[in-house]
Amino acid sequence: MKTDEVITHSYVTDATMPSGKTIALITLDNNRDHKRPNTLGPLTLIEFGEALEAQRKRAAAKEIDGIAVTGKPFFLAAGADLSQVQDLPNRATAALLPKLGHRVYSLMHDAGVPTFVFINGLTLGGGLEIALNANYRTVNEGAPRAIGLPEVSLGLVPGWGGATLLPNLIGIENALKVIIENPLKQRMLDAKQVHELGIADAIFPSATFLERSFLWADSVLTGKTKVERKKIGLVEKAKWDVAVGIARKSLESKLGTVPLAPYRALDIIKEVKKGDIAAGFAMEDEALADLIVSDQFHASIYAFNLVQKRAKRPAGAPDKELAKPVRKVGIVGAGLMASQFALLFLRRLQVPVVITDLDQGRVDKAIEGIHGEIDKLQGKGRVDADTANRLKGLLSGTVDKSDFADCDWVIEAVFEELTLKQDIFAEIEEHVSDEAVLATNTSSLSVEQIGAKLKHPERVVGFHFFNPVAVMPLVEVVKTPHTDDATLSTAMVTAKNLKKNAVITRDTPGFVVNRVLAKLLGTAMHAVEQGTPFEDVVEAARPLGLPMDPFVLLDLVGLRVGAHVLDTHHAAFPERFHASEALTALAEENVLIEKDSKGEPKGIDKQALKIVKKFVPKDATPYTVDDLRIEFEDGLADEIKRMLDDNVVAAAEDIDLCMILGAAWPFHAGGATPYLDRVGASERVFGATFHDPRIEGPKD
């Protein structure tokens, strides 16, 4: 195991209160700047435990009246040092870490004096569990929306008391949101929510947070303040099992049963209804020991590092100093995607945005819709009135392309028709400067061909968003053989300013995400056209761990779009990609998934079953579930290896980053390539692995 842990030290100072009582304050500080938050490795925990034991002795000697814990400026703690956890060699060693955390944190129970935690900033995972193990908690009103228990999104459970203590503090339904729902949606809490939920007993402004926290603690010590908390009574206990059952069914419908961590967390939460803390802690110990050595945890850390590190340093990006300024944006098209672009550019860049379309009526309708979206943002408190008015003032519409003359960046969002896009860019080029960047949002056409008729093809770049634009974090930045470094740099800087993660790809069919999905969805449609039952196809795809089955995904992206993507890839690579006459027929009737009254998928529509049956040959041989699973895995391994050999992206890590950010490929799989290595598909297809060593847990 590594020994180069950045230790978060425990510095103790005494504070004398107005009442004359003394509180020993333990300040957690790793002595690094604000870019490096406090983390909790084994050596940190040992030092923290020693500090707590020393204060417990002082409490027994009547030298102090209370113990408080806080962090360095902006941070309490960002949780466990996961770089250390990754290197645990086996389950026996892994089992020591949760036990160490419980032993140390339990020193805050029955310490001889009341214990307090002052949540002064970012507080995640094991950091929040320090607070939960204390008797009382305050929170800084100015703390960022970075307080919570993210463990299940990383293949773990809150294992230092969080899964046990929180449900009995804030109630079962709130605890399920904090422990399971929020992390799976990548959401954390802000200070106000922490206080309203009852995690913190008091909230104070940033400027006087520490001072007022001490005064509040003093009032608790003297009995002037009585802390009232949510009572977990018979009514709460009566709905406990029902709430856990609903949460389990929701997980199964949204994630399937492949992810381990959320279900282990549910098991603990269900058990602690009895209020037996020791039993809950024992379950946390067992769950963490199992999960730390699991393939899913190691894949999750790989995925986490891709999103947190590689995404911030994109492979192949030119020097950002080469980027041209973007002071005005032009958008060609006034449909749904174009309107989403306009709102995003307005909010993030806050520069003038002009949109155009074939007639003024369509332009006016788009502007009205964008204004409505800005009003919704204001209604939700996302922007204030002044900002809303300013954003509206920056937006204009036109049917006169000469109004694009002073645009530095023009992006088109029109139909996927090559000649149309070529003609639009040729027309725009007549009006804009030679320095203006022309970006296309095409998902399947050649970016090079789109710019083929231009005088300056070096200014053309692919800038492929995913729908919904405001939510999906990925932009595929497509470099043609002609794209110059200044244009590419401008695209990368613009993506960053839009708060998107950009990955540079070569100009090849489907780029990354659509090419991988086309392989998956094409195989699924081919299987049903060979007479394989839909439910068998779904079962064969289940081990991939995707958030939805292939047919629900097809329905979500749109059947016409899906058919177009499959046709495009079949045309480019006919020997490897199946065309689907059945999907084309389904698209014409716009029928595939039956939905309930809430719009949730119920299964395959009966009409869709009849349509597909017409395309099944009499001599067709259906796949078995196992054979089709291998067909999925080997097909993906083959296609991804070809993409890497063809330098579509710089490395396998970029394939996985695209699939995680652009297709919600789950963290617990680590993206596509670690999964394909673990199941043996890589070795079956090309006799090696994408990663050496494989990304997997230790094998005892």
Instruction: Write the DSSP assignment of 181-194 as a string of letters.
Output: IHHHTT--B-HHHH
For residue 112, is it left (φ>0), alpha (ψ between -120 and 50) or beta?
A: left
- The CA distance from 681 to 654, in Å, is 19
Q: Name the pairing type of β-strands 329-332 and 147-148.
A: unpaired
**Backbone φ, ψ for residue 688 (5° rounding):** -150, -165
Q: How many CB atoms lie within 10 A of CB 238?
A: 10
On the CB side of 139, CA atoms within 13 Å amount to 29
**Backbone φ, ψ for residue 140 (5° rounding):** -75, 120
Angle (CA) 377-382-383 rounded to 5° is 80
Q: Which two tokens stand for residue 344?
A: 């995003």
Q: How does 383-392 read in b/e, with b if 16+ C-beta sit within 10 Å? A: beeeebeebe
Residues 6+ apart with CB under 8 A from 639: 515, 516, 519, 576
DSSP category for residue 480: P
Across the chain, which has 700 residues, the per-10-residue mean pLDDT values are: 81 97 98 93 96 98 98 96 82 93 96 98 97 98 96 95 96 96 94 97 98 98 94 86 95 86 97 93 97 94 93 94 97 94 97 95 96 95 94 96 96 94 96 96 94 96 94 96 98 97 96 96 97 96 89 92 92 94 96 89 93 95 97 98 97 96 90 95 98 88
Q: Which two tokens stand for residue 552?
A: 């629900």
Task: Provide the 3-class DSSP secondary structure of residue 304.
Answer: helix
Nearest residue to 97 (alpha-carbon basis) of 259, 89, 36: 89
Task: Provide the 3-class DSSP secondary structure of residue 213.
Answer: helix
Would you state the torsion angle of the CA atoms of residues 686, 692, 697, 700, taken in this order, to the nearest 10 degrees? Answer: 90
546 with 556: CB under 8 angstroms? no
Q: Which two tokens stand for residue 532?
A: 């394989």
pLDDT at 666: 87
What is the chain's alpha carbon radius of gyration, rounded to the nearest angstrom? 28
636 with 659: CB under 8 angstroms? no
- The CA distance from 25 to 8, in Å, is 15
188 with 145: CB under 8 angstroms? yes
- The CA distance from 202 to 224, in Å, is 14
DSSP characters over 12-54: EEEEE-TTS-EEEEEEEE-S--TTS---B-HHHHHHHHHHHHH
Q: Helix, strand, coil % (nearest 5) of the chain?
A: 50, 15, 35
pLDDT at 3: 63
- The CA distance from 541 to 691, in Å, is 23
Element (H, E) at 412: strand 409-412
Write 584-587 long-range contacts (CB < 8 A, 24+).
585/611, 585/614, 585/615, 586/559, 586/611, 586/612, 587/559, 587/560, 587/562, 587/563
From start to end of 54-114, where are the E strands? 66-71, 75-77
Scan for tokens 């060609």, then name that residue.
Answer: 332
pLDDT at 1: 46
Query: Model pTM?
Result: 0.90
